[in-house]
Amino acid sequence: DGGITQSPKYLFRKEGQNVTLSCEQNLNHDAMYWYRQDPGQGLRLIYYSQIVNDFQKGDIAEGYSVSREKKESFPLTVTSAQKNPTAFYLCASSIAGYNQPQHFGDGTRLSIL
Amino acid sequence: KQEVTQIPAALSVPEGENLVLNCSFTDSAIYNLQWFRQDPGKGLTSLLLIQSSQREQTSGRLNASLDKSSGRSTLYIAASQPGDSATYLCAVESYNTDKLIFGTGTRLQVFP
């Protein structure tokens, strides 16, 4: 089955710890995205990548980092600099270009211990 | 700056009703408007994408319209069913940002 796989489903972070969220897709999409979803605030874009080895900051990139070494993979690291990381994180992918629908994974819920 | 608003925030209807969800946006310079469905604790599922040159799109019991000049879109759900219960989000892909800007969603409950 083609789709996007996010892991883990639940993740807990200790103070001062970096954690990495995994996102893998087998849809052969060039573009990939990371969003953060907080209650009552909708989705906000953290980082996006239109092609391998290239990525751009979204609206709320501070405290996060990404890499895009392979077309299928776009991991997100939540660093200790992100002071309020508790949220639902969603990864998406699409064919590059305009007017292409985005396909989403099932998300990772990150909480602070 | 593009802003997307969805009204109402929540809606509860009996099974079988036809219903309309509303989405408005402040900047008409868009490539498209998209409607998504989100089940609790899950990701988003794309329902309909309306390009800026189009007026409406249909998929099964769903019909979405777009009035770009007035900055409005509606999602019409015919003969609602309990399985339609979910949060519905709209998003616009704007010229000046090349990103999707999301509304905060309408939480729909359809009761038997």
Report percent pLDDT > 70 for chain A: 98
Hey, is the C-beta of B76 within 8 angstroms of any chain A C-beta? no
Q: CA A87, A90, A91: angle at the middle one, nearest 5? A: 145
B82 CB contacts (<8 Å, ≥6 apart)? B15, B110, B111, B112
A22 CB contacts (<8 Å, ≥6 apart)? A5, A6, A7, A8, A73, A75
Closest by Cβ to A101, choosing from B4, B41, B49? B49
Q: Which residue has the higher pLDDT, A2 or B57?
A: B57
A112 confidence band (pLDDT: 50, 70, 90): confident
Listed in order, strand segments (DSSP E) in chain A are: 4-7, 10-13, 19-25, 31-38, 42-51, 54-57, 64-66, 76-78, 87-94, 103-104, 108-112
Mean model confidence pLDDT for chain B: 95
Give the residue-averaged pLDDT of A60-75.
97
- Cα(B33)–Cα(A99) distance, integer angstroms: 9
pLDDT digits (tens, 9 = 90+) for A14-46: 888 999 999 999 999 999 999 999 987 889 999
Tokens of A42: 């909708």
Report DSSP state, residue A73.
Answer: B
B45 contacts A104? CB cut-off 8 A? yes
Give the residue-averaged pLDDT of A47-72.
96
HSE of B8 in the Cβ direction (CA atoms, 13 Å)?
Answer: 9
Please count the other Cβ atoms lying within 10 Å of the Cβ belonging to residue B69: 7
Mutate to test the interface with B, among A60, A99, A108 (most CBs of B within 10 A): A99
Query: Is the previous residue joined to A39 through a cis bond, with omega within 30 degrees of 0?
Result: no
Hey, is the C-beta of A31 within 8 angstroms of any chain B C-beta? no
CB contacts of A105 in chain B (<8 Å) are: 43
A90 confidence band (pLDDT: 50, 70, 90): very high
Confidence check: pLDDT of A75 > 70: yes
CB contacts of B34 in chain A (<8 Å) are: 101-102
Closest by Cβ to A101, choosing from B34, B98, B102? B34
Rg (CA), chain A: 13
Tokens of A86: 């508790």
A1 confidence band (pLDDT: 50, 70, 90): low
- Cα(A31)–Cα(A54) distance, integer angstroms: 10
Rg (CA), chain B: 13
Q: Kindly give the parts of chain B with pLDDT less than 50.
A: none
Give the residue-averaged pLDDT of A47-62.
96
